[in-house]
Amino acid sequence: MTSLTEIARSTSVNPAAPIPFDNTYTRLPEAFYQRVKPATAPAPTLVRVNDALARQLRIDPQFLKSPEGVAILSGNVIASGSEPIAQAYAGHQFGDFVPQLGDGRAILLGEVVDVAGKRYDLQLKGSGRTRFSRGGDGRAAVGPVIREYIVSEAMAALGIPTTRSLAAVLTGESVMRERVLPGGVLTRIASSHLRVGTFQYFAARGDVENLRVLADYAIERHYPEARSAEDPYRAFYDAVVAALARLAARWMLIGFIHGVLNTDNTAIAGETIDYGPCAFMDVYHPDKVFSSIDQFGRYAFANQPAVIKWNLTRFAETLLPLMADGADKAIEAANASIRLFNDHFNQAYLTGLRQKLGLASEIEGDRELGSDLLALMAENQADFTLTFRAMCEAAADTKGNAGVRTLFANPPAFDEWATRWRERLSLEERPAEARRTAMRAANPMFIPRNHRIAAAIQEAEAGHFDKFHELVEVLAHPYDDQPEYAHYGKPPAPGEEVLQTFCGT
């Protein structure tokens, strides 16, 4: 296998270009993508550039804000070194297999290598039609663009693996949805856009040769340690299982509902990708669903680990022809890997749960203690984020109970549980103040609440972005109190609740 750096170096990388593209995906066979130019935007204007992320990617944020930079971010100009493509992929959507999906409203401009030497995709989302657009217009309305910007950057600040947002622009063109809306383009940064669906695309065509090329590429890019394993494809698969199990655990610990966990939205790198009808819960309930298209609750909060596991089983099926000799052995190997999912998930979840509860030691029954709290929260319509945040104070001082119990419809329900919690805390050796500090780093004050996103979108649709900018800035420091922005930590007032969220289309 040739290293990706060698592949990129064998072509004409210009490190002095404003965006130092260093492409490898376009060196793969033609079957992997369509070369395509972004559509032009009649009157592009900048909404926001992510300065810190730009610097990390060795791009001058001032360049991105210049007319030349905005021309690139809107698709009007193809930057030097960019080789725009739409990637091919397939996927199970709500359980049904679609052999061809692909980038229908996204165009990969190329890859960049960050200051730490890590490779990222730089993709425009909403920049016109491609061969994979089917009936769609290839466009994005401003609402989904800023929604993805807000939530993906909030996830990054919360420490959850995710794609990022480098920039948002308006195109100056209207898009037709239920209403006429301003069009926008998001610049998305991802460790890669390889999905379970990318593997399914070749598997469905019986194209084992390209499947192997893809797997080798994914190993090089994301799990190079698998290369030297006895069965590299098995080791690769195990690594993806572990990464996605840990990711699902993080979602469950933060109250995040992805909303469209199709196999084409399940990234091999283990990042959260595709912020369509996603939502954070205010009031906790395991069955919460926000997506307007998820009629049967397939992607409800509590189903997420099982769904990721289902997607990983579909992924295993694509790799069977590459794994150890003989189908039986391969199926056995894949089954063993899937069993690993539960171990990885449970370990990551329990570790995170203990952090949320303020437990530094490990004692049998900790998981039940946490589950019982969640069950009480569901019964008592307690706000997920505020309950855990208020517990940081309660853990340091019994008087702090007052701040938590009022979040429960029936406050004595919390008192009863808190007696058990305090007994458990009395077995801890860690000093109370250190516990409080650790809990505050595990239980955020600020999450992207639906009603705040909805208000920012409403304003953006009218051409104003103050709420959007402020929300992004507050969410960049989710674990700090930021007293001047305390209102952003509040749940929706009656009448402000958002009951449904919609896809990015």
Q: Which residues bind Mg ion (CB under 5 A)?
A: 265, 274
* Phi, psi for 148 (deg, rounded to 5): -65, -40
At residue 433, what is the residue type? Answer: E
Task: Kindly indicate which of the ranges 130-138, 162-170, 359-367, 388-396 contains the residues binding ligand AMP, using the contact rule CB under 6 A.
Answer: 130-138
For ligand AMP, the closer CB: 277 or 358: 277
Minimum separation from the CB atom of position 214 to ligand AMP (A): 18
Minimum separation from the CB atom of position 272 to ligand AMP (A): 13
Is 274 annotated as catalytic? no
What is the number of the residue whose Cβ is closest to Mg ion? 274
Q: Measured on CA atoms in the order 346, 347, 353, 359, is the torsion positive or negative? A: positive
Two tokens at 7? 């592949």
| Contact predicate 255/284, CB 8 Å | yes
How far apart CA 94 and CA 262 sit, in angstroms, is 6
Minimum separation from the CB atom of position 308 to Mg ion (A): 15
For Mg ion, the closer CB: 61 or 259: 259
For ligand AMP, the closer CB: 135 or 494: 135
Buried b (16+ CB within 10 A) or exposed e, 411-439: eebbeebbeebeebbeebeeeeeebbebb
For ligand AMP, the closer CB: 44 or 102: 102
How far apart CA 245 and CA 238 sit, in angstroms, is 10
How far apart CA 301 and CA 292 sit, in angstroms, is 14
Task: Kindly indicate which of the ranges 71-79, 96-104, 222-230, 434-442 contains the residues binding ligand AMP, using the contact rule CB under 6 A.
Answer: 96-104
Two tokens at 88? 């091919």
Task: Kindly indicate which of the ranges 66-74, 103-111, 176-184, 393-401 contains the residues binding ligand AMP, using the contact rule CB under 6 A.
Answer: 103-111
Q: Give the list of residues 6+ apart from residue 494 with CB closer than 8 angstroms, or none.
A: none
How far apart CA 149 and CA 246 sit, in angstroms, is 23
Minimum separation from the CB atom of position 236 to ligand AMP (A): 24
Two tokens at 371? 């589950």
294 binds, options ligand AMP, Mg ion, none, Cβ within 5 to 8 A by partner type: none
For ligand AMP, the closer CB: 22 or 148: 148
For ligand AMP, the closer CB: 105 or 314: 105
How far apart CA 34 and CA 103 sit, in angstroms, is 9
Q: Does 505 bind ligand AMP (CB under 6 A)?
A: yes
Catalytic residue, candidates 22, 216, 238, 264? 264
What is the number of the residue whose Cβ is closest to ligand AMP? 136
Cβ atoms within 10 Å, residue 440: 20
**From 81, 84, 102, 182, residue interacting with ligand AMP (rule: CB under 6 A):** 102
Q: Does 133 bind ligand AMP (CB under 6 A)?
A: yes
For ligand AMP, the closer CB: 61 or 504: 504
The string of DSSP codes covering 304-346 is HHHHHHHHHHHHHHHHTTTSSSSHHHHHHHHHHHHHHHHHHHH
Minimum separation from the CB atom of position 185 to ligand AMP (A): 12
163 binds, options ligand AMP, Mg ion, none, Cβ within 5 to 8 A by partner type: none
CA distances from 258 to 143, 273, 282, 416, 480 (A): 17, 9, 15, 33, 25
CA distances from 239 to 222, 271, 320, 338, 348 (A): 9, 13, 16, 11, 14
Task: Kindly indicate which of the ranges 100-108, 110-118, 147-155, 400-408 contains the residues binding ligand AMP, using the contact rule CB under 6 A.
Answer: 100-108
Q: Does 313 bind ligand AMP (CB under 6 A)?
A: no
Name the helix (H) or strand (E) containing 35. strand 33-35
How far apart CA 298 and CA 368 sit, in angstroms, is 25
Two tokens at 137? 């217009």
Q: Does 104 bind ligand AMP (CB under 6 A)?
A: yes
Q: Does 132 bind ligand AMP (CB under 6 A)?
A: yes
What x/- string results for residues 226 through 265 when contact with ligand AMP is judged by CB under 6 A? Answer: ----------------------------------x---xx
220 binds, options Mg ion, ligand AMP, none, Cβ within 5 to 8 A by partner type: none
* Phi, psi for 479 (deg, rounded to 5): -95, 0
102 binds, options ligand AMP, Mg ion, none, Cβ within 5 to 8 A by partner type: ligand AMP
Could you say which residues in the range 135-154 bind ligand AMP, by CB under 6 A? 136-139
How far apart CA 257 and CA 269 sit, in angstroms, is 19
Local structure of 34: helix, strand or coil: strand
Two tokens at 119? 């490779």
Q: Does 180 bind ligand AMP (CB under 6 A)?
A: no
101 binds, options ligand AMP, Mg ion, none, Cβ within 5 to 8 A by partner type: ligand AMP
Judge residue 176's burial from the number of C-beta atoms within 10 Å of its C-beta, 0-12 exposed, 13-18 middle, 19 or more buried. Answer: exposed
* Phi, psi for 463 (deg, rounded to 5): 90, 10
CA distances from 363 to 43, 132, 354 (A): 61, 52, 10
What x/- string results for residues 269 through 298 when contact with ligand AMP is judged by CB under 6 A? Answer: -----x-x----------------------
Q: Does 34 bind ligand AMP (CB under 6 A)?
A: no
504 binds, options Mg ion, ligand AMP, none, Cβ within 5 to 8 A by partner type: ligand AMP
Residues with a known catalytic role: 264
By CB under 6 A, name the binding residues for ligand AMP.
101-105, 132-133, 136-139, 260, 264-265, 274, 276, 503-505
